[in-house]
A and B are shown apart, each in its own frame.
Chain A
Amino acid sequence: MNRLLAVLRGLGSQFRSIGMVFMHTFRPRDVILYPEVMPAVPPRYRGRIVLTRDPDGDERCVACNLCAVACPVGCISLQKAERPEDGRWYPEFFRINFSRCIFCGLCEEACPTNAIQLTPDFEMAEYNRQNLVYEKEHLLIAGTGKYHDYNFYRVAGMSIAGKDKGQALNEEPPVDYKSLLP
């Protein structure tokens, strides 16, 4: 008798699962038709890497090489140069090999000037592998990216033309170490 009950219960459970699966006919689909319908990607998605500009329109990157050091696959290479007219540092070239990049975002975390940022764009497929090597002209965008107000040279103590030491935001005037008074 118990065996018969067990068989009936098992049968019932099988028919129940058949019914439950059938009811999925009327459920909305969990997937989207991708190329026609774009997925809603969160703003902090780690996609294509860009170099941003500060609010004044100058390059943010100061070519400190921290991103290249932080990069676990070594796909970033750049060369520092100095602008003769105001003394700002900038990368002479900035190259990211996206066929190596793993989009870990460590470069973004390492960047002291918020220059390098990851964007929600992920459609980077190429037929030719060489086309995945992005130069500075491909990386540099016109805007400020995720941080609209940040300007490194305006808050940092480094002196450039038009902004001497002590003139940055919230910066004390430099201490005259030749004076005895505190």
Chain B
Amino acid sequence: MFDWVTPELAAIFWAVFKAIVILLGAVVAGAQMIWAERRLLALWQDRYGPNRVGTFGLLQVVADMVKIFFKEDWTPPFVDKFTFILAPALAIGLMMLAFILVPFTPNWVVTSPEDGILFFFAIAGLAVYAVMLGGWSSNSKYALLGGLRSTAQMISYEVFMGLSLMGIVMKAGSFDLHQIVEAQRHGWFIFSQFFGFCVWVLAGIAVIHRTPFDLPEAEAELGAGYHTEYSGMKFGMFLVAEYVGIVLISCLTVVLFFGGWHVPFEDEVPFFTQIPFIWFASKAAVFMAAFILLRASLPRPRYDQMMSAAWKVCLPLALLNLIGTAAYVLWQTPGATG
């Protein structure tokens, strides 16, 4: 009956299955981030948050989804229809696309291209378009201002987001995320690349325009920024894209700086190494919670403050880190100086 299943075909099916599971996992994690954020914000503001629908309010997202699907999907008459519809799809699609790179465990990864980090930068660069097109096609002042801000913000932060990771690439000797995780078996890059980590986290928050760098939205001054004119599920896609972005940046932080699936001090205490995903997930969860903590505690900087912090602090820091790492790697490589 299953004669037609050749080993090659089975491998393809298995790969597709893994990809689908990772896709669904990313979407569900992103959606549950909405619940997690509301509960954690409530905890830090001495409230309870949504705790009625399902156990601990876990089904709140389902209720919200049902509600948002039944809302009127209103497209204002003055917008540019094609780009208006394209923007939210781009926002969530690109965030999902970046998940093909993340090596959750040694075996569970959709693809592991040799230049994985470059691919991520390409996607992050394209993600600007989602916000920019959303702001431009809405054809209203607030949305346009939000779109402009986010374009400038994301472009400038991507510059040193790339630079901050070059130290890692030098130390691991590869752009491949799988190789980078393997290179951290005996020491995470957070210790040797601390300044790179600082710059990466700041840039990561800015690129997924998350509080405190949510100036594209800036609800206090721009209405809702680039998604002012959006409603219904199109708005929902922007919203979920933001949360999927948090999950993505947390996963990448774990992969790049915190040893991916490796157990802390794996050489001394090999603990639970059989289920590497537990370690990956718990590390990523810490970072997701940390992003929410940042939102709970930090005020939003002024736009010029944010841009000067980018170009006057983060860029020099990233460059210094790059030069220092390069010098160190060169010094360590036998025969490189002679």
Which residue numbers of A lie inside 8 Å of B, CB to CB? Answer: 7, 14, 17-18, 20-22, 24-25, 27-31, 33
Decide if B14 is an interface residue (CB 8 Å cutoff).
Answer: no
Contact B46 A17 (CB under 8 A): no
Contact B297 A20 (CB under 8 A): yes
Closest to B294 in A: A18
How many A-B contacts at CB < 8 Å in the complex? Answer: 34
List residues of chain A with CB within 8 A of the CB of B297: 17-18, 20-22
Question: Which 9 pairs show the lowest CB-CB distances between chains A and B?
Answer: A21-B297, A30-B46, A18-B297, A24-B44, A17-B297, A29-B46, A21-B44, A21-B296, A31-B47
C-alpha gap A10/B297 in the complex (Å): 14
C-alpha gap A81/B154 in the complex (Å): 78
- Which residues 43-69 of B sit at the A interface, judged by CB distance below 8 A? 43-48, 51
The answer to whether residues A14 and B47 also contact, given A21-B293, A22-B293 and a CB cut-off of 8 A, is no
The answer to whether residues A14 and B298 also contact, given A21-B293, A22-B293 and a CB cut-off of 8 A, is yes
List residues of chain A with CB within 8 A of the CB of B51: 33
12 contacts between A and B (CB under 8 A): A17-B298, A18-B297, A21-B44, A21-B293, A21-B296, A21-B297, A24-B45, A25-B44, A29-B47, A29-B48, A31-B48, A33-B51
List residues of chain B with CB within 8 A of the CB of A14: 298
List residues of chain B with CB within 8 A of the CB of A33: 48, 51
List residues of chain A with CB within 8 A of the CB of B44: 21-22, 24-25
The answer to whether residues A25 and B48 also contact, given A14-B298, A18-B297, A20-B297 and a CB cut-off of 8 A, is no
The answer to whether residues A24 and B47 also contact, given A14-B298, A17-B297, A18-B293 and a CB cut-off of 8 A, is no
List residues of chain A with CB within 8 A of the CB of B296: 21
List residues of chain B with CB within 8 A of the CB of A7: 313
Closest CB-CB distance, A25 to chain B, in whole Å? 6
Query: Quick one: which of B44, B294, B297 has the most chain A CB within 10 A?
Result: B297
List residues of chain A with CB within 8 A of the CB of B43: 24-25
Closest to A16 in B: B297
List residues of chain B with CB within 8 A of the CB of A28: 46
Judged by DSSP, the binding face of A is helix
Contact A18 B46 (CB under 8 A): no
C-alpha gap A25/B294 in the complex (Å): 14
C-alpha gap A18/B293 in the complex (Å): 7
C-alpha gap A7/B313 in the complex (Å): 10
List residues of chain A with CB within 8 A of the CB of B293: 18, 21-22
List residues of chain B with CB within 8 A of the CB of A29: 46-48
| B 24-54 binary contact with A (CB < 8 Å = 1; else 0) | 0000000000000000000111111001000
Closest to A28 in B: B46
C-alpha gap A30/B45 in the complex (Å): 9
List residues of chain A with CB within 8 A of the CB of B298: 14, 17-18
C-alpha gap A31/B46 in the complex (Å): 7
Closest CB-CB distance, B287 to chain A, in whole Å? 14
Closest to A24 in B: B44
C-alpha gap A178/B43 in the complex (Å): 81
Contact A27 B46 (CB under 8 A): yes
C-alpha gap A77/B294 in the complex (Å): 57
Closest CB-CB distance, B57 to chain A, in whole Å? 12
Closest to A17 in B: B297
Closest CB-CB distance, A5 to chain B, in whole Å? 15
List residues of chain B with CB within 8 A of the CB of A21: 44, 293, 296-297
Closest to A30 in B: B46
Given A17-B297, A25-B43, output 4 extra A-B contacts at Cβ < 8 Å.
A7-B313, A18-B293, A21-B293, A28-B46
C-alpha gap A29/B296 in the complex (Å): 16
List residues of chain A with CB within 8 A of the CB of B313: 7
Closest to A29 in B: B46
Closest CB-CB distance, B261 to chain A, in whole Å? 27
List residues of chain B with CB within 8 A of the CB of A31: 46-48
C-alpha gap A47/B62 in the complex (Å): 36
| B 281-312 binary contact with A (CB < 8 Å = 1; else 0) | 00000000000011011100000000000000
- Which residues 154-198 of B sit at the A interface, judged by CB distance below 8 A? none
C-alpha gap A93/B43 in the complex (Å): 51
C-alpha gap A17/B297 in the complex (Å): 6
List residues of chain A with CB within 8 A of the CB of B46: 24, 27-31
C-alpha gap A68/B291 in the complex (Å): 57
Closest to A22 in B: B293
C-alpha gap A27/B48 in the complex (Å): 12
List residues of chain A with CB within 8 A of the CB of B294: 18
Closest CB-CB distance, A3 to chain B, in whole Å? 10
C-alpha gap A28/B48 in the complex (Å): 10
Query: Quick one: which of B46, B47, B51 has the most chain A CB within 10 A?
Result: B46
